C-alpha cells in the first residue's frame, strides 16, 4: 500500500540568508527588509506591470498565486522563524559556561538568585522582543496570516510583545511540537495548561494540549534526529491548514529552529536571540510505501 505525505523543502534565491555560514561563531540577526533579495517573479507582469509595488508586495502575491495553482499537491509558505528573546537560563549558562551548564546547572530549577525552570525573559529579552515589534511596525514587510508559539514562557512573552499591535486581529496559537529539545534541562520543562491559559489569555491553546507536561523527562534528552521528526510532524500539521495562508510566524527556540532547518533541508545556521529569520518553504505531496 502507498500513502501520501508532505515533503518540505526550503527554497534558495529569495533571501540573502542563502549565504549564512554553518558556524557557531556566527549568529543570524534580523536584516533590513528581512534580507529579501531584489529579483523578479513570474507574476510581476500582471500584478505590477508599472513597477509600483514593493519587493515584499510582489513576493507575497507570488506565493499566494503559487498556493492557488495546485493546493492539493503543493503549498508554499513564507515562515518567520522568531527565536525568543534572552531568557534567564541563557544568562546562567553564559555565567557558568557551557560545560558546567550541561553537567549540573541545566538539571536544577534555579539558584538563590534566579529560577530558570520554564525560563522567563530577562529585561534584555523583553527589549529584544520590543525590537521585533518596532521592526514590524515600520510596515516594510508583510505581517503573518497566522501566528504560532511554543508553550514555554519565554516564547509566549516574546510573541505577546512582538505582535502586540496586531493580536486583536490575529490570535496566536500555542503548539506543543514547537517546543525546545525535550528532557533533562529544566528550562525546557513547560508550565501547566491552566497556568498558560490564565497568564496568557490572548493565546488559543491547541486541541489535545495536556494539563501537565507529559513529554519532558528528567533523565532522557531528545536527540536532534528525534527533534527533526517532531518538527516535521509540526510542519505537516501547519501545512494541512487550508485557506489563503501565505505567511506564518513561529516563535521558538534555538534547538527548535535547528530542527526545523533539518526538516526542510536548510543548513544549520545559529540564530541570535530575539531575531527574525525568514524561510520560504514549499511542501509537495509524495507517495510512500506503507506496510499492508
Residues 109-130, mean pLDDT to the nearest whole number? 97
Q: For residue range 27-48, what is the model confidence (pLDDT) as tens digits?
A: 999 999 999 999 999 999 999 9
Confidence category of residue 82, pLDDT binned at 50, 70, 90? very high
- Confidence band for 71, pLDDT divided at 50, 70 and 90: confident
What gap in Å lies between CA 259 and CA 229, rounded to an integer?
8
Size of the chain, expressed as the number of residues it contains: 292
pLDDT reading at 24 higher than 70:
yes
- What is the per-residue pLDDT for 196? 98
Give the per-residue SS3 of the chain: CEEEEEEEEECCCCEHHHHCCCCCCCCECCCHHHHECCCCCCCHHHHCCCCCCCHHHHHHHHHHHHHHHCCCCEEEEEEEEEECCCEHHHHHHHHHCHHHHHHCHHHCCECCCCECCCCCECHHHHHHHHHHHHHHHCCCCCCCCEEEECCCHHHHHHHHHHCCCCCCCCCCEECHHHCCCCCCCHHHCCCCHHHHHHHCCCCEECCCCCCCCCCCECCECCCHHHHHHHHHHHHHHHHHCCCCCCEEEEEECHHHHHHHHHHHCCCCCCECCCCEEEEEEEEEEEEEECCC
Q: Under a CB-based contact definition with an 8 Å cutoff, are residues 129 and 158 in contact?
A: yes
All structural domains of the chain with their residue ranges: 2-84+122-183+192-289
Q: Show which residues are catalytic.
A: 84, 180
Confidence of residue 244 (pLDDT cuts 50, 70, 90): confident
Q: How confident is the model at residue 173 (pLDDT cuts 50, 70, 90)?
A: very high
pLDDT of residue 291: 56
pTM of the model: 0.95
With 70 as the cut, is the pLDDT of residue 158 above it? yes
Which pLDDT belongs to residue 72? 84
* Chain segment 125-151, per-residue pLDDT in tens: 999 999 999 999 999 999 999 999 999
Per-residue pLDDT averaged across 224-242, rounded? 94
pLDDT value of residue 168:
82
- Chain centroid, CA 104 distance in Å: 28
Contact 167, 174 (CB under 8 A): no
Which pLDDT band, with edges at 50, 70 and 90, does 292 fall under? low
Name the architecture of domain 2-84+122-183+192-289.
3-Layer(aba) Sandwich (3.40)
Amino acid at each position: 500500500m502507498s500513502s501520501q505525505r508532505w515533503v518540505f523543502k526550503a527554497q534558495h534565491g529569495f533571501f540573502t540568508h542563502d549565504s549564512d555560514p554553518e558556524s557557531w561563531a556566527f549568529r543570524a540577526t534580523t536584516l533590513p527588509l528581512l534580507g529579501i533579495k531584489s529579483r523578479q517573479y513570474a507574476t510581476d507582469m500582471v500584478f505590477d506591470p508599472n513597477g509600483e509595488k514593493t519587493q515584499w508586495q510582489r513576493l507575497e502575491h507570488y506565493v499566494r498565486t503559487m498556493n492557488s495553482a495546485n493546493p492539493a499537491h503543493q503549498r508554499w509558505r513564507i515562515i518567520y522563524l522568531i527565536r525568543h528573546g534572552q531568557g534567564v537560563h541563557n544568562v546562567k549558562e553564559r555565567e557558568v559556561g557551557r560545560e558546567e551548564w550541561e553537567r549540573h546547572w541545566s538539571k536544577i530549577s534555579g539558584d538563590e538568585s534566579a529560577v530558570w525552570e520554564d525560563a522567563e525573559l530577562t529585561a534584555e529579552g523583553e527589549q529584544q522582543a520590543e525590537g521585533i515589534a518596532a521592526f514590524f511596525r515600520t510596515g516594510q514587510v508583510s505581517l503573518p496570516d497566522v501566528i504560532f508559539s511554543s508553550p514555554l514562557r519565554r516564547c509566549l512573552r516574546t510573541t505577546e510583545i512582538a505582535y502586540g499591535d496586531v493580536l486583536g486581529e490575529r490570535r496566536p496559537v500555542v503548539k506543543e511540537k514547537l517546543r525546545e529539545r525535550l528532557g533533562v534541562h529544566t528550562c525546557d520543562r513547560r508550565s501547566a495548561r491552566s497556568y498558560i491559559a490564565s497568564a496568557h489569555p490572548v493565546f488559543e491553546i491547541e486541541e489535545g494540549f495536556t494539563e501537565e507536561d507529559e513529554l519532558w523527562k528528567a533523565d532522557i534528552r531528545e536527540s536532534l534526529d528525534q527533534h527533526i521528526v517532531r518538527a516535521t510532524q509540526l510542519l505537516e500539521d501547519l501545512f494541512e491548514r487550508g485557506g489563503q495562508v501565505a505567511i506564518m510566524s513561529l516563535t521558538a527556540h534555538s534547538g527548535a529552529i535547528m530542527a526545523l532547518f533539518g526538516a526542510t533541508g536548510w543548513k544549520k545556521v545559529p540564530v541570535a536571540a530575539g531575531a527574525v529569520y525568514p524561510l520560504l518553504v514549499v511542501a509537495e505531496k509524495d507517495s510512500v510505501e506503507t506496510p499492508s
